[in-house]
Structure 1
Amino acid sequence: MATENISTVEMTLKGFLQWALIELGDRAPYMFRGESALFDTPLTPTLNRYFTGAESVSSKDLLFYENGLWDEFRSKAYNYVEQPLLPPWDRQSEWWWLMHHYGVPTRLLSWSRSPLVAAYFACSQDMEVNGCVWFVDSIEIDKQTQAKYKIGLQPDMAQLQIGPNEDSLWQRNAALLREDAPSAVVIGATLQETSRIAAQQTKFTLCMNVATSQFDILRDELPELSAGGSPSFGKIIIKADEKPVYFEKLQALNANAHALFPGEDGLGRAGTDWLLKTVYARRSGRPTFTAIR
């Protein structure tokens, strides 16, 4: 995919921290997403990744798979998930947040309000290749979607030609399940936050048309600069040889597995963090320390 129109900058750790913690400030409500490699198809939701590089998959087919995943997850979730987290039985799109949380392929992309959280995910895998932190101005997403489709965080569902007798939440669900749904990116969140969603300051984007690339929409429809004069969409490249430097500092800044995956979720990730820290340190020739038991 073409990326010529995207703001792209390589940054050392010092430059990144200066940008993330000082220069950004509150000038724009950015969201951030870390990706551990410079993928040919960036910003691809987990459901769509299963068909990357394959022959074109239609909206009809993707909706079939999406519906099947929902049925499979929903039929068993009541045995394991705490009742307050369970959405109404028939509100499919409201289940996607929970499904995504438990690793089920969905059309959602997760972002964070914290650039440090995004940098952690960019540096915690694929040690040998460059990673990146994507950033996007959430207000610009909503403005462009509103301008083109009259859909925003509170969609005008009449514009989507859904029946007038349904409540707005049901209408939104119905619109998302249409084969000819608009190619519009919208921002979402769940009211039933888990501890992990809260710790990672998670927001989500989704495309109302399940087969449309979110990356293509953000690249083609957002203005180069936001209202505050900063790039509205772009990426910060973290070179492979900078990943150890980033990773070590992020651990000290509490962007680590223990903080981002509270409770039992963090046990396995913390072990991976330890392994990465140790491998990075040994490659750089720094001493490593292991507690004596």
Structure 2
Amino acid sequence: MKQTRVTTWSQLMDCLYEEAWMPALQRFRPPFAFRGLPDASYTLNTSLMRLSDNCAPIEGHLLRNFKKYALRNVVERDSFWYWLSVAQHHGLPTRLMDWTFSPYVALHFVTASTQRYDRDGVVWCLDYKKMHQQLPDALRGLLEKEGADVFTIDMLSHIHSLREFDDQAEHPFALLIEPPSIDDRIVNQYALFSVISSPTVGMNSWLEERPDVYRQIIIAKELKWEIRDKLDQANINERVLFPGLDGLSLWLRRQYVQPSSDSDIPSNLLMN
């Protein structure tokens, strides 16, 4: 694992776009998914793992009851992976974890909470091509057949439950899913979900055994205000990433925050 601490905007840009040039394509196409956190000490545990130390027995109950009580017109089709994506998107604790194709969106989540400007942040950079090379043969073959780099829910439609997903291999594996365009928030955040074939294995522990799959960019706390101001000027903000009155209100509230303010944003509008 490569870890770099950056203290200037130019260093940050160099690190975010490291390994982005693809000689075969003659294009800048970084094979990374990004996840930004306001505190570098935060772990990559899922919302399900944060809910309970004994999360495995309750995983199925959560999703079953979400389906039972949700309005039927919320979900367009009765697909397991569609239901799981909708549940994660609306805050149900699941084994899914939010990522993004956009390094700028990741930086938004590093700097959205001004209450956490007294500590270093972090952007995790996950090489999904290397990660998917370690998939079970059947799943890796699906990607190769489609000529794709990440999965869609349709590509996984033959797997009808998390138990069936877990049984694809003896040891835990991880993959990235591009969720359906449920709403503008998914689209504007250029969203991805990661999923591991065990409810009790966190991404931290999974990655520790595969140091070549990821790198970390530690963002000095002194740099956060500059990042925040430049993101706002580039129109990367709550008003765009959370379309609607909630996002508009968050954006306006933060616009008038002084650097010494202790204001914060609701946890349901942070990356899960």
- The TM-score by the shorter chain falls in which range? 0.7 to 0.9
Partners of 2:66 and 2:164 lie apart in 1 by: 22
Match of residue 214 from structure 1: 203
Contact 1:141 1:222 in 2 (8 A): no
Cα distance, 1:181–1:198 mapped onto 2, change above 3 Å: farther
- What does residue range 200-239 of structure 1 map to in structure 2 within 5 Å? 200-223=189-212, 232-239=213-220
Q: Say whether 1:131 aligns with 2:136.
A: no
Q: Say whether 1:50 aligns with 2:22.
A: no
Partners of 1:265 and 1:152 lie apart in 2 by: 40
Match of residue 240 from structure 2: 259
Contact 2:86 2:182 in 1 (8 A): no
Contact 1:145 1:185 in 2 (8 A): yes
* Equivalent of 2:60 in 54, 61, 67: 67
Cα distance, 1:154–1:63 mapped onto 2, change above 3 Å: farther
Q: Which amino acid aligns with 2:2?
A: S
Match of residue 270 from structure 2: none
Match of residue 35 from structure 1: 37
Partners of 2:106 and 2:120 lie apart in 1 by: 14
Q: Which has the larger radius of gyration?
A: 1
Partners of 1:117 and 1:170 lie apart in 2 by: 32
Contact 1:181 1:208 in 2 (8 A): no
Cα distance, 1:245–1:200 mapped onto 2, change above 3 Å: same
Q: Which amino acid aligns with 2:103?
A: P
Cα distance, 1:130–1:67 mapped onto 2, change above 3 Å: same
Structure 1: tracts of 5 or more residues without a match: 1-5, 156-166, 224-231, 284-293
Contact 2:96 2:195 in 1 (8 A): yes
Q: Which amino acid aligns with 1:33?
A: R
Q: CA RMSD in A?
A: 3.0
Q: CA deviation at 1:244?
A: 0.9
Match of residue 69 from structure 2: 76
Contact 1:70 1:92 in 2 (8 A): no
Contact 2:179 2:191 in 1 (8 A): no
Q: CA deviation at 1:94?
A: 2.9
Q: Which amino acid aligns with 2:194?
A: T
Contact 2:48 2:93 in 1 (8 A): yes
Name whichever of 65-74 and 22-31 sits farther off: 22-31
- Superposed CA deviations along residues 221-269 of structure 1, whole A, max 9, x for unmatched, are 253xxxxxxxx41111111121111111111111111111112341343
Q: Say whether 1:97 aligns with 2:90.
A: no
SS state at 1:17 partner:
helix
Match of residue 191 from structure 1: 180
Q: Say whether 1:280 aligns with 2:235.
A: no
| Larger RCO (CA under 8 A, 6+ residues apart) | 2
Q: Which amino acid aligns with 1:197?
A: I
Cα distance, 1:254–1:260 mapped onto 2, change above 3 Å: same
Match of residue 288 from structure 1: none
- Superposed CA deviations along residues 159-181 of structure 1, whole A, max 9, x for unmatched, are xxxxxxxx962435242366x96
- Superposed CA deviations along residues 147-199 of structure 1, whole A, max 9, x for unmatched, are xx6543838xxxxxxxxxxx962435242366x96411011122344211110
SS state at 1:279 partner:
coil
* Equivalent of 1:244 in 225, 244, 257: 225
Partners of 1:206 and 1:168 lie apart in 2 by: 12
Match of residue 8 from structure 1: 3
* Equivalent of 2:98 in 102, 106, 110: 110
Q: How many residues get paired? A: 242
Contact 2:81 2:156 in 1 (8 A): no
Give identity over the alignment, percent: 22
Cα distance, 1:145–1:250 mapped onto 2, change above 3 Å: same
Q: CA deviation at 1:87?
A: 3.6
Contact 1:37 1:130 in 2 (8 A): yes
Partners of 1:195 and 1:131 lie apart in 2 by: 27
SS state at 1:197 partner:
helix
Partners of 1:70 and 1:113 lie apart in 2 by: 27
